[in-house]
Structure 1
Amino acid sequence: MTREEKANVIQDLTSQLADSPSIYLADISGLNAAQTSDLRRAAFKANIKLAVVKNTLLAKAMEASDKEFGNLPEVLKGSTSLMFSEVGNAPAKLIKNFRKKSDKPLLKGAFVEEAIYVGDENLDALVSIKSKEEMIGEVIGLLQSPAKNVISGLKSGGGKLAGILKTLSER
Structure 2
Amino acid sequence: MDRTEKEELVSTLNASFGEVSLVIVTQQTGLTVAQSQDLRRKMRAAGANFKVSKNRLTRLALKGTKFEGLDSLFSGPTGIAMSEDPIAAAKVAVEFAKDNDKLQIVGGAMDSQVLDVEGVMALAKLPSLDELRGKLIGLMQAPATKVAGVLQAPAGQMARLLNAYAQKGEAA
TM-score bin (small chain): 0.7 to 0.9
- Return the letter of the residue paired with 1:39: L
Flag the 1:21–1:123 CA change in 2: closer, same or farther, 3 A. closer
What does residue 41 of structure 1 align with? Answer: 41
What does residue 136 of structure 2 align with? Answer: 139
1:72, 1:118 within 8 Å by CA — same for their partners in 2?
no
**Aligned-pair distance for 1:135?**
3.5
2:108, 2:117 within 8 Å by CA — same for their partners in 1?
no
Query: CA separation in 2, counterparts of 1:136 and 1:70?
Result: 31
Contiguous gaps of at least 5 residues in structure 1: none
1:106, 1:120 within 8 Å by CA — same for their partners in 2?
no
Query: CA separation in 1, counterparts of 2:114 and 2:30?
Result: 23
* 1:91-125 C-alpha deviation (Å, 9 max, x unpaired): 1121232234212422222233x253432222332
**Aligned-pair distance for 1:147?**
0.9
TM-score, normalization by structure 2? 0.80
Flag the 1:49–1:161 CA change in 2: closer, same or farther, 3 A. same
What does residue 86 of structure 2 align with? Answer: 88
Residue 77 (structure 2) aligned to one of 73, 76, 79: 79
What does residue 57 of structure 2 align with? Answer: 57
Query: CA separation in 1, counterparts of 2:16 and 2:77?
Result: 19
Residue 149 (structure 1) aligned to one of 146, 149, 156: 146
Contiguous gaps of at least 5 residues in structure 2: none
- Structure with higher helix content: 2
Question: What secondary structure, in the 3-state scheme, does the structure 1 residue paired with 2:72 have?
Answer: helix
What does residue 32 of structure 2 align with? Answer: 32
Question: What secondary structure, in the 3-state scheme, does the structure 1 residue paired with 2:52 have?
Answer: strand
RMSD between superposed Cα atoms in Å: 2.5
1:25, 1:108 within 8 Å by CA — same for their partners in 2?
yes
- Return the letter of the residue paired with 1:20: V
Flag the 1:103–1:16 CA change in 2: closer, same or farther, 3 A. same
* 1:77-103 C-alpha deviation (Å, 9 max, x unpaired): 111111222322111121232234212
Paired positions, count: 168
What does residue 98 of structure 1 align with? Answer: 96
Determine what percentage of the aligned residue pairs are the same residue: 30
Query: CA separation in 2, counterparts of 1:46 and 1:140?
Result: 22
Question: What secondary structure, in the 3-state scheme, does the structure 2 residue paired with 1:142 have?
Answer: helix
Deviates more, 1:119-128 or 1:143-152: 119-128
Max Rg structure? 2
Query: CA separation in 2, counterparts of 1:115 and 1:151?
Result: 46
Question: What secondary structure, in the 3-state scheme, does the structure 2 residue paired with 1:7 have?
Answer: helix
- Return the letter of the residue paired with 2:8: N
